[in-house]
Amino acid sequence: MTTTQLLPERYRGARQIARGGMGEIYRATDSTLGRAVAVKLLGERHAQDEAVRGRFTREALAAARLSGDPSIVTIFDVGEHGGRPYIVMEYMSGGSLEQRLRTGRATPAEALRWLEQAAQALDHAHAEGVVHRDVKPGNLLLDREGNVHVADFGIASAAGLDSLTMTGTVMGTAGYLAPEQALGQRATPASDRYALGVVAFELLTGGRPFESDSVTAEATAHAQAPVPSASARNPELPREIDAVFEQALAKDPSARFDSCAELVAALRDALSRAAGETRTLVAAAPTRPLPPAGPVPSPATTRPRPPRSRPLWPLLLVGLVVAAIAGVALAAALSGGDDTPRERTVVQTITAEGTTVRETVTTQTEQGTGAGGNTATGSPAPTDPSALNDQGFRLMQAGDFQNALPLLESAVQQLQGTGSITEAYASYNLAYTRFQLGNCEGVLDLLKRSQEIQGHRDEIEQLRKDAKKPCHD
């Protein structure tokens, strides 16, 4: 269907690409700027209500201020034409996650990447005081590179669709309503986090947790039924993930995760812990006890460590390359401190996301540098920022902050501005490492950036408190 009557003259060649309970969406060309855009028109039955028209426009203008976030669909224009309000936004050529789900469930890697991007957008909106109210796969749009961008902030509320007690409820939306919304209560950031949990459940299992042919039955289940087992729905998922969904889909909003980023981090952690990593060392020569894990920080560089009630850093495996590097390093450590080259065969069994890979790596170490020193292995240092962050974290765990520092600095430099959860982790790790070394450079700024991405964390607040006085400008 092609039409130009419904849109201002500026938007030409309009073609309807979607229709929903709140209106229609058209793809058009902005003749002034020469770019493809998507134009959303409020449905005629809603446009007849002056109060709804006003709310629609106000919500669209409020959402427009979020457009600077890379994971939020940019709004170019808001107006009214022919008595119907419209929103002009960037056109996403990759379709939506709703369309993607029609081909089956996503892989864990795909799901985590999409959820991470959606989480970044939602947490940013919540920090600005904006609640989405209608988080669902149809509002998670994909660009040509397959990255998720969140659309339609606040529009459900403007059109009166954010609660089953209101007229005009859309069937597809009911599947993602938080219990409090289903009961007619006001939506909050916790409601968005619940909906993202439903989306995560659907991406990983292929179906919504309380899926039903009846809107009422599904909404009632959200409010009353126990959370089903995701691992039972999809046997390829570990049982550890069920506890994450129990919290994400808790009936009580206060029992849910404190941020969307925290929810995604918990999913990563559950998949990582279940995947695990097993290394068996077969020595070609007599082995020796491992040297100390790392140098003990001197009193001058030791600071109080923040409590770690929950793991902050990612534990997910970063691939076979990093695993091989780790295996080579461990084999080198077994060579002790003499100058005799020694050969080690490292047999690694790595299980991740339902796939088991067994790899044997045979290496020959070069001359040692003395007891407790570093042994050259000839293995290249990792360059991927996620791998750099993970290796830096392992050195932090060993107390070797001096060698962790350049790895984490490189990781943060490469990740800067991506807004990914890995950037959040690397920023915290670098801040913590610098503080341990008595270096205040950028510590508070790094903590601020980490919190901007993943929301409030007790660990960040504790380190900020410890660092505020010594690192204050």
CA distance 34 to 42: 24
CA distance 189 to 119: 11
Catalytic residue among 30, 49, 69, 134: 134
Count of other CB atoms within 10 angstroms of residue 420: 20
User: Residues with Cβ < 8 Å from 228, sequence gap 6 or more?
Assistant: 209, 210
* Active-site annotation holds for 134: yes
Look at residues 70, 86, 81, 68 and name the one whose alpha carbon lies nearest to residue 155. 86
Helices (runs of H) and strands (runs of E) counted in the chain = 18, 10
155 contacts 125 by C-beta, under 8 angstroms: no
**N residues, the chain:** 473
41 contacts 6 by C-beta, under 8 angstroms: yes
CA distance 287 to 289: 7
160 token code pair = 């009166």
- DSSP symbols for 281-344: EEESS---PPPPSSPPPPTTT--PPPP-SS--S--S---HHHHHHHHHHHHHHTTTTSS---EE
Count of other CB atoms within 10 angstroms of residue 216: 12
User: Residues with Cβ < 8 Å from 90, sequence gap 6 or more?
Assistant: 37, 38, 73, 74, 76, 149
* Residues tagged active-site: 134
